[in-house]
Amino acid sequence: MDTSPPAWQRHGMRVKALLAGFLSLLSWSLGTIARAQDAAPASPTLKLTVKADYLALRITGTTNITANAWQWRVLPGGPEDMVAWSHFDLPVADGAFKLATPMPAGGWYCVEVRALDGEKVIKEAGVTRPEPAAFVHVTPDRIESLPESERVAWKAYLARSRENEHADHETLATECREIRAAASKPAPTDSERFVCPTKVAASYFASPEAATLASVILSYQTPAGAWSKAVDYSKGARPRGTHWTTQSEAGWHYCGTLDNYSTTEQIKFLALVDQATKREDCRAGALRGLEWLLAAQFPNGGWPQVYPLESGYHEAITLNDDAMLHALDLLLAVRAGEEPFGFCDEALRKRAGAAYERGIQCVLACQVQVQGKRTVWCAQHHPITLTPVAARLKEPVSLSGAESANLLKFLMRDGPTTDAVLSSVEDAIVWLDAHRITNLRKTTNAAGKTDYVKDPASTEVLWARFYDVETGEPIFAGGQDGVVYKTYHDMAEHNKVTYDYFTTKPGDIVGKERERWKKRLEKVGKR
């Protein structure tokens, strides 16, 4: 009797045997690979971190390399620098190391570390100093698209801006190194704007109080010649190693600005103290401020919010909060030789006048045209193309009711009475007159917050802070979500409101200022 398994069962047994053999072979192969990997030396690693303060470059690193020599160096200027390598001993326990070197006087470009086997480099690593934030509007591509003469002017402007920025940084770095401070301290903060107190007796500027304030203001003048904003001058003169600004972002935010009345008001104050007391340091400070104002002006006549240039919307030609308007107003006074700027010589008055004229031409060029018709202005304009641009989330590309009204008031009272200015003003007035908002009443809602509701009986006449460029309809952008809403009510339901979204300023422009403007034109034979 045949007791052997049937054919199908024998076939299954052979398959099982083959599979067992394959798995055994695979296991042996994987084991061999693992043993080979364990036996093979790990890939050489070398990682660096560099921390820079005003006193030193502090380098930390880790490595798994065993080498007979370790070297490091700092390149101060650029990749072309020829700097000798220095030796250091690497602890062998965990492969971690620390190094420090005094900050080179001119800054640093790159830190490099390498491991050697004899003269052979096993591994090399380096950390390059981070580049400053790239400009958003004043970009190389945009500059290269300009005609040659304009390209030359813009490149020269950027070069001067970088030189001033470097000088600002080096001045503070030197102070910190001299007092052995690893970092600068921010300036004390004051939430109030500094505005030159002109509604006081002239004798105030000769008082001990004004003298003390002038000294404090001078101490906070940046090396480039300007002032920051929100500095508490009541805390006394700036100690060495203290920054010129209260702002964040490594201390260089708003370091020299026209925002919130800054710089122009300090110049006026120092000039008034000089007029009353003949203080040479106040006169020198005012002159340095005027030189900053001339240097900060773009080749096309506009002014950025911050100079030396700071990346972002700070590069834009800034009408917001009347920044450019304050620059024009001050230069007009200097050009005319008005007090307290009688100390300015003829050459400076001519330069101020030329800068003022370029500024007026820039204002006219920035006036937004929609379907071939002039309207008003945006709060910010592109520094090169002059087109409207956005700033913060709550400040979208738009037509501005408030800033346009203030700018028009300046042109109507103090601007040149040329045909170009006359035409610009008249078109802007027509636009404002057509975009008044009625049937709206300001109220307080159940939550105790400001709201605006429709009310046919309301006699209030308002203008929106922002209007859509194309449609001319009021718009309301949220400060937190950046969403552009069609009504104030909808925007306020989704955002914390810390901004004036309505204004009454254009009311004066289309009313009494327009009548005043007509009388001014009659005097010069334009009517």
Q: Which residues are catalytic?
A: 260, 392
With a CB cutoff of 8 Å and minimum separation 6, the contacts of 271 are 282, 283, 286, 340, 341, 343
The residue among 261, 231, 233, 224 whose CA lies nearest residue 246 is 231
Quote the CA–CA distance of 327 and 307 in Å, as a whole number.
Answer: 13
Q: Is 27 helix (H, G, I), strand (E, B) or coil?
A: helix
Distance CA 523, CA 296 (A): 35
Rounded to the nearest 10°, the torsion over CA 350, 355, 361, 362 is 180
Pairwise CA distance, residues 341 & 334, whole Å: 6
Q: Which residues does 27 contact at the CB level (< 8 Å), separation at least 6? A: none
- CA 359/CA 298 separation, integer angstroms: 9
Q: Give dist(CA 296, CA 253) in Å, integer.
A: 16
In this structure, are strands 96-102 and 56-63 parallel, antiparallel, or unpaired? Answer: antiparallel
Burial of 334 (0-12, 13-18, 19+ CB in 10 A): buried
Long-range contacts of 214-217 (CB under 8 A, 24+ apart): 214/269, 214/270, 214/273, 214/279, 214/282, 215/281, 217/266, 217/269, 217/270, 217/285
| Cα–chain center distance at 353 | 28
How far lies 202's CA from each of 224, 287, 343, 406, 420, in Å? 30, 21, 17, 28, 39
> Under the phi-then-psi rule, with left for phi > 0, alpha for psi from -120 to 50, and beta for the rest, what region is 250?
left
- Amino acid in position 98: K
Q: Mark 426-439 as b/e (b = at least 16 C-beta within 10 Å).
A: ebbbebbeebeeee
**Distance from C-alpha of 404 to C-alpha of 113, rounded to nearest angstrom:** 57
> Where do the H-state alpha helices sit in 96-146?
140-144
